[in-house]
Structure 1
Amino acid sequence: MLRLLACVLAAATGLPAPAADTSFLDGPQLGGQLLRNVVQVRTAEAGGEHGFGLVVGSDGRHAYIATAAHVLQPAGAAVEVVFCDGTPAAAPQPAQRLAGFQAPDQDLAVLRTALPAGYVPLERVLAPAAGIAPRQEAWLLGQEGRCGLVARSGAVAVVPAASPASSAGAGAAGAPAGLLRIEFPGARGGSSGGPVMSGHGVLGLVTNADDLAFSVLPAAAIERSLRSLGVWRLQEARNIPPTDPRAAEVDLAETLNQYLFGVRNLQQLLLRPSVPRSRFVAFANEYNAAVNRFRDARERHDGALARHWPAPVLARWQALRDSLWSVHQVIWRMNAADSQAIFDAQASPPEVRARMQELEPALQRLQSDIEGFLQQLARKEPP
């Protein structure tokens, strides 16, 4: 991390570091984030149903929650929800069934409730429908009136025949038409209406359960039903679990491109005599974020590269990351006095411009090496 530069600029900007396009969390880590969109749902009458729901969007005043219709029994009973993330407090609040919405062929209903102060639901939530496949590990995000990732995981057993990921015979083995079947041996009930997730995001909502498996209404089907209401805001989570070989390819490509973008922007800016303060702050923050991401990814995928790619790929990555670090050391040598002088005068001193000019051949080599490595990385299709 470019600590000295970041320290000088920290008090001068509120600009956030650019967000990564893809995250690489394992299932439980992703589940901890997705709980922000999970609510408990229950009817206020004694003996009424209870379950969970998924916040699918908001309009600034209300949150909209998809849940299983049978959770709202008896019909006409008052309904209340509790947000699982505890923001601002885990207190029940009234919710109303959205008037006019009907899904006669689905166990699906939509609730509307006041948006809690300070609550902003996630939008990057969903698993890509085309990637849902048998044997993927799956988790419940609530059970028996308790929010949280259920410790016992399950697995996708049957994918609906309409899904691109479906295999021959999908839809059999007791799975109702159009529903996912998720095996949860030994799992208890009490999850109706709640989301089921894989390491790639939310798969859908629980509609029914037996001793061995849960029937799940796929998220894609829910989106089709809710599209006309204008309340659906969910997108793909864009998460790849670290055990998936694709994580190495995507993470390294994004990391290297982000670093090259960040270092080029900063170098080109500091080659100029005039350095606008706002641009210096923004480019320095972008560079800091890129270096931090590289630091985290530096050795993360060595095992995957060794297992799933030809041997020269790992060796090339190790050489490339050493070259990148050598480039970073030139930027690192920009000390606090240099940074403060640039920030105050909005100008790049001659010695800094000379250092940035001397960096050009190394940057050209680095760019060429990155292009070659990414081409080699992409040519091998991980299993």
Structure 2
Amino acid sequence: MSRVMTLGALTFSLFLLGLLFGGGISADWMRSAGDPAVAKISQADSNSGLAAGVEVPGERRGEFAEAGTASAADSPDGAFVFPASYGSSDDDEPLAVVPVAAVSEKSKRETEQRIRRVFPEADAETVSAWAETLQDMPAREQEDLLQQKRAVSGSLNSIFTPSLRSPTRALPPLEARAEATDVARGGAGRLLPNPVSPTAAADRVWIDGARADVLMNLRQLRCVGYRALLVLPAATRESAGGIGGQSAGLRLRSFEPGRRISAAVSLAVSLPDDGGLWLQLSNGLLTRRGDLQRAADGTGLGLMVHGEFQVLAGSWSLMAGESLTITEQGEVLGRADSGDAVAERRSCGRLPVVRINDPAVLQSDDGVHFRIADGAAAELVPAGDIRVLPGTLELSNVNIPEEQALLNSLPVH
């Protein structure tokens, strides 16, 4: 009798195991049995993989990496909830749910390692500030920025000092000038001199120049404040000559805003998305760069331009040893580094923001620093109207798809 009972119990146990591992008992059944902590996740769903989520006290959250496997509506607050012991694969490996904070910390550590490989002599504070700035960028972009910085300045003393080497080629002599006219995207750029030549040789020179311009733009893709030099086809020639019936082309600068990034540096600043606004240096140059730094003696604020420090225009009263911050109104505040967190700040000056209403008067060799043509003047923006974005930098306004399309359209000779 006991043998029969034992055999019956064993048979029933095998039956239950068959249901369990054969898919007969689902997560829906477990939920209906009163376990609210288990999400509606089938074995097929679990095999599809789960993306990293945020860990919160008492429960673990995540979302599916593949669309269509489940809906956020399965959970009252729109997130999937599952017990920490839930297995995600046939080999009983526990489901890995990485907190977002841990992901960020891991990304920062990897970025710091990348920085130290390029700049082994950099101090820990500088490396940390750069890591916070770059950690959200793809690794390839980080490498490009760091290598450019190493090639240009050799150190991390200032943030994102751009490469300012001018193009090595020259365009053909001007035989005609096109009238400055608003073009492309609602006046975002101005037409510049039009090099026109009736000869095929001159056309080839122009093609080479256009290709060099495109490559220059791509090299300056992540350069702070760079304004792209674009090459657009001009109107169709009346004659049958030229490249496909078109003139040699028109050259222009784009004054659209560039991509903005966060920068964990106190003196980083960017101007609003208004192409007519510029920072003015004491030598009269205008720029959209915002990677400001202090002079070697600590009493000046400005930019390194072609290897020389240029102070910002205006009146300044900086003292060595002060910590500086920039307000949204463009005011630079200083406070003595005495360790007193509530020490009073004093005004050291205001960013010299000027407006250029007609970009046709701007001239530049490097696309970053601009001169004003003779007879033109910049209009100083009143202090009450200044608005800037501290802690950010504006990169170039190079449009990669447009540059690639232009490069592909240029004839090969």
Structure with the larger RCO, 1 or 2 (CA within 8 Å, 6+ apart): 1
Which TM-score band (shorter chain)? under 0.3
Which structure has the highest helix share of the two?
1
Query: Normalization by structure 2: what TM-score?
Result: 0.22
Which structure: larger Rg? 2
